[in-house]
Amino acid sequence: MKSVYDTIQDEIKALKAKREAVILAHNYQPGEIQDIADFVGDSLKLAQEARKTDAKVILFCGVHFMAETASILCPDKTVLVPDLQAGCSLADMVLPSDIRKWKAAHPEGVVVCYVNTSAAVKAECDYCCTSSNAEKVVSAIPAGKKILFVPDYFLGSFVKQKTGRADMELWKGYCPTHVMIQANRIEQLKKEHPEAEFVMHPECGCTTKSMHLADRVLSTEGMVRYVKESSAREFIVATETGILHRMQLDNPEKRFIPASEQAVCGYMKMNTLEKMADALENMRNEVRVPEDLARRASRCIERMMEIV
Ligand code: 13P
C-alpha cells in the first residue's frame, strides 16, 4: 500500500517534469526530502550543481543564503524554495554595514566570507569560501596580507590554525545548532565507543577544545565521503543530525552516533514535501537576487570557484 509520502513524492515528481525543474537538497534536509532530490550535498557541491544544470527551475531545499548563491550563479534560472522563512542564524550575525566598518578599521585587510552570509554581505567581501574549501581559499591569499574572516568564529579559528596565518582577525559569529555539540559529551562518547571514528564539522562550537580528538574535521560532503571509504564500523558524527540519514542509507552495515541529538537546525527542518509541491505547482517562493547586487556578490563567489 502506498504511504502518504509516496503519494506526495509522486506528485512532486510529476510537477518537477512539468516545470523542467531540478531538486537540490542540503545534507541537513529531512530524509524524505533528500530521498526525492536529484542531488544531495554540501554548500559547495550544490552551488556547482546549480551552475551545471540545464533545468529551467531549481527547487533549492536548504536555507535562504544557499538559494541566493544559486540565483547569483544562474541568473537565467528561476530559483524556488519550499519556505522563504528558512534562514540561517549564523548568516544573520553579520550585516553589510558591519563589514564596511571593519574594512574601514583595517583598510589593508582582505575580507573572506563564509558562504553562510547574505548576498548583501557577499557584495562587500573579497573572497567567499565554504567549509570544504576555506583552508584552500585562505592559503591562496598572498602571504603577509591581513585577513578578516566572517562570520563563523570556529571555522575561522580552525582555518587560522591549519594555515598558520597569524594576521587573521575573526568575527565572533557562531551556528546555534553546532553549539549544541559539547566537548564533555564527545569525551564521554569516545569512552563509550572506543572503536568509533570521530568526524566533526568545523562550525562546532567545541572545535577549539575537541579538535585533537577528531579523526577528521570535514564539510558535510567530506564527512559523507569519509565514512563511506573508512573501514571503521562505528562513527561519532558532530554536525546537524540530518546528515545521518544519508550516511545510514549509503552504509547500512555501519553505525552512526550523533554527537548531540539536539543538533537539529530548525530552519533546515522548515522545508517539507507539502511546501515543495506547493512551490512547484504555484511557482511560489522565488529567490532572485537583484542584478546589481548579484553582480557585486558574484565577485567573491567566482574567486572561490576559480580556486576549487
Ligand atoms: P557544508 O557546506 O559543510 O554543508 O555546511 C553548510 C552549513 O550551513 C553548515 O551549517
| Residue 260 CB less than 6 A away from ligand 1 | no
- Tell which residue, 73, 60, 48, has the closest CA to residue 22: 60
For residue 218, give the ligand 1 atom closest to its CA.
3
CATH number of 181-258: 3.40.50.10800
Report the pLDDT value the prediction gives residue 209, as an integer from 0 to 100. Answer: 75
The model's pTM is 0.95
Helix (H) or strand (E) holding 92: none
Q: Got the DSSP string for 176-239?
A: TTGGG--HHHHHHHHHH-TT-EEEE-TT-TTHHHHGGG-SEE--HHHHHHHHHH---SEEEEES
Report the separation in Å between the CA atom of 1 and the middle of ligand 1, taken as the mean of its atom positions.
37
| Residue 220 CB less than 6 A away from ligand 1 | yes
Q: Say what angle helices 4-19 and 273-282 make with each other, to 10 degrees.
A: 30
**What is the spatial distance between Cα 202 and Cα 228, in angstroms, rounded to a whole number?**
20
Q: What share of the chain is helix, strand, coil (3-state, %, to 5)?
A: 45, 15, 35
Report the pLDDT value the prediction gives residue 207, as an integer from 0 to 100. Answer: 64
- Name the percent of the chain lying above pLDDT 70: 99
Which of 200, 201, 207, 243 to mutate for ligand 1's pocket (most ligand atoms within 8 Å of CB)?
Answer: 201
Write the pLDDT tens digit of every residue in 1-50.
777 778 999 999 999 999 999 999 999 999 999 999 999 999 999 999 99
Report the pLDDT value the prediction gives residue 241, as an integer from 0 to 100. Answer: 98
Report the pLDDT value the prediction gives residue 294, as an integer from 0 to 100. Answer: 98
Residues in the chain: 308
Domain span(s) for CATH 3.40.50.10800 in the chain: 4-87+268-289, 91-174+293-307, 181-258
| Residue 116 CB less than 6 A away from ligand 1 | yes
CATH number of 4-87+268-289: 3.40.50.10800
Across residues 207-236, what is the average pLDDT? Answer: 91
CATH number of 91-174+293-307: 3.40.50.10800
Write the pLDDT tens digit of every residue in 278-295.
999 999 999 999 999 999
Report the separation in Å between the CA atom of 117 and the middle of ligand 1, taken as the mean of its atom positions.
12
| Residue 43 CB less than 6 A away from ligand 1 | yes
- Name the percent of the chain lying above pLDDT 90: 94
